[in-house]
């Protein structure tokens, strides 16, 4: 049986609400439409056969992927993936680097050992003896 005109708004309302709430789906759908528009402009301007134009095919393929991702996110309620683990590792690296810098600044003994051994290594690579000043 065909849906009556009064049934259509009831079915569309949840989808519209999800589209308003889900920015990830909305951004993907918008990106897909923009890429399709770019592909259309390219196909219209150029005097090349669209079936042979690689850039045009890539634009259409990426548009289809973006629209597919947007509709899948809209249907399943999927949100933009978060990068909490990556941010935690980056924060840990920043804290470690800051701690190392503070330790080297405060401790003259540690600074001498780190930079002294680096100087000795540089002299060894260059081929000179740090004690006598002679080169090999």
In the chain, where are the structural domains located?
A: 7-76, 84-126
| 66 or 12, which is more confident | 66
Tokens of 121: 């290594």
Residue-level pLDDT at 37: 94
pTM over 0.75: no
Residue-level pLDDT at 62: 93
pLDDT of 133 higher than 60: no
SS3 call for 135: strand
% of the chain at pLDDT higher than 70? 87
Q: Average of pLDDT values for 98-117?
A: 81
- Cα distances (Å, whole numbers) of residue 113 to 95, 104, 117, 118, 124: 22, 10, 6, 8, 16
Cβ(56)–Cβ(39) below 8 Å:
yes
């Amino acid at each position: 049986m065909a849906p009556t005109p009064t049934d259509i708004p009831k079915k569309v309302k949840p989808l519209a609400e999800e589209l308003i709430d889900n920015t990830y789906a909305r951004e993907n759908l918008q990106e897909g439409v923009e890429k399709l528009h770019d592909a259309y402009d390219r196909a219209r301007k150029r005097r090349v056969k669209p079936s042979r134009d690689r850039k045009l095919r890539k634009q259409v393929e990426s548009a289809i992927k973006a629209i597919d991702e947007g509709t899948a996110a809209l249907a399943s309620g999927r949100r933009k993936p978060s990068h909490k683990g990556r941010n935690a590792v980056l924060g840990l690296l920043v804290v470690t680097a800051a701690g190392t810098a503070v330790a080297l600044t405060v401790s003259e003994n540690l600074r001498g050992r780190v930079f002294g051994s680096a100087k000795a290594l540089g002299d060894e690579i260059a081929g000179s003896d740090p004690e006598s000043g002679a080169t090999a």
